Amino acid sequence: MLFSSDSILKDERLLVKYVSSQYYLNMKEILQLIQRLAVVAQAENRRLAGSAGLQPVHIDVLRYLARCNRYSNTPAAIGQFLSSTKGTVSQSIKVLDREGLISKLSDAKDGRVIRLRLLKKGRDLLECVDEGSAIQGAVEYVGADEHLALANSLAALLRRAQRLNESKTFGVCNTCRFFTHLSDGGFQCGITNELLTVADSMQICVEHENEAIKT
């Protein structure tokens, strides 16, 4: 619907319609930008994975293992993080293990649980692949002073979308509602009661939960 600026200012109902239409346009525009960015990211992932002789999902698994904590390095957690089937995750793990990019070991407390670890070769490959990322270059181009605002907006969008889709947050440990500051300056997980290092506090976790937020 088209409005002339004079008629908008004279008629309150028109003004409400105008503001609503602008709001709707902005909403659609934001949605399209996110969808377009996702398409560009997927195409780039295919290109970068192909240059390393791998599939995009293999790169996704390596990226996840580079960021996850010790409670989250299982095939099941990878499946949840990537919304992938058990079969896809298990095939990817086989390939990455065969290529010497990750290692598999049984959990010390429960031998039935498999733990995965990113090896140096995997970390080096990831660094190489990410160096060729045009999206990373684009984020750098945006400028350091805008990074915080951009990160906050994207994080807020992601939190809300995850909440509405009832998906796990996989957030950074120090933003979790169970993350506890101890009186001696250390950190502790409120679920496992285990101590956490500064490095642990910056990793992502399958058990992460945001603080309750008002709707």
Residue of 59, 61, 81, 208 interacting with ligand SF4 (CB under 6 A): 208
Q: Is 77 among the residues that bind ligand SF4 (CB under 6 A)?
A: no
**Based on the number of CB atoms within 10 Å of its own CB, is 2 exposed (0-12), middle (13-18) or buried (19 or more)?**
exposed
For ligand SF4, the closer CB: 59 or 196: 196
Residue 187 to residue 180: CA distance in whole angstroms:
6
For ligand SF4, the closer CB: 55 or 180: 180
Specify whether the CB–CB gap between 163 and 195 falls below 8 A. Answer: no
For ligand SF4, the closer CB: 3 or 178: 178
Which range of residues in 22-30, 58-66, 124-132, 204-212 is near ligand SF4 by CB under 6 A? 204-212
**What's the closest the beta carbon of residue 176 comes to ligand SF4, in angstroms?**
3
N-to-C CA span, the chain: 31
Q: Which helix (H) or strand (E) holds 39?
A: helix 12-51
Q: Is 179 among the residues that bind ligand SF4 (CB under 6 A)?
A: yes
Q: Is 178 among the residues that bind ligand SF4 (CB under 6 A)?
A: yes
Which range of residues in 10-18, 34-42, 138-146, 201-209 is near ligand SF4 by CB under 6 A? 201-209
For ligand SF4, the closer CB: 101 or 207: 207
Helix 56-67 / helix 12-51 crossing angle, nearest 10 deg: 100
Q: How many residues bind ligand SF4 (CB under 6 A)?
A: 12
Residue 64 to residue 72: CA distance in whole angstroms:
9
For ligand SF4, the closer CB: 97 or 209: 209
Specify whether the CB–CB gap between 15 and 22 falls below 8 A. Answer: no
**What's the closest the beta carbon of residue 171 comes to ligand SF4, in angstroms?**
7
Nearest to 176 by CA among 142, 210, 214: 210
**Composition of the chain by helix, strand, coil, percent to 5:** 60, 10, 30
Evaluated on CA atoms 141, 145, 148, 150, the torsion sign reads: negative
Place of tokens 């240059």: 51
Q: Is 64 among the residues that bind ligand SF4 (CB under 6 A)?
A: no
For ligand SF4, the closer CB: 57 or 205: 205
Binding mask 128-167 for ligand SF4 (x = CB under 6 A): ----------------------------------------
User: Which residues make up the interface to ligand SF4 (CB under 6 A)?
Assistant: 69, 71, 173, 176, 178-179, 189-191, 205, 207-208
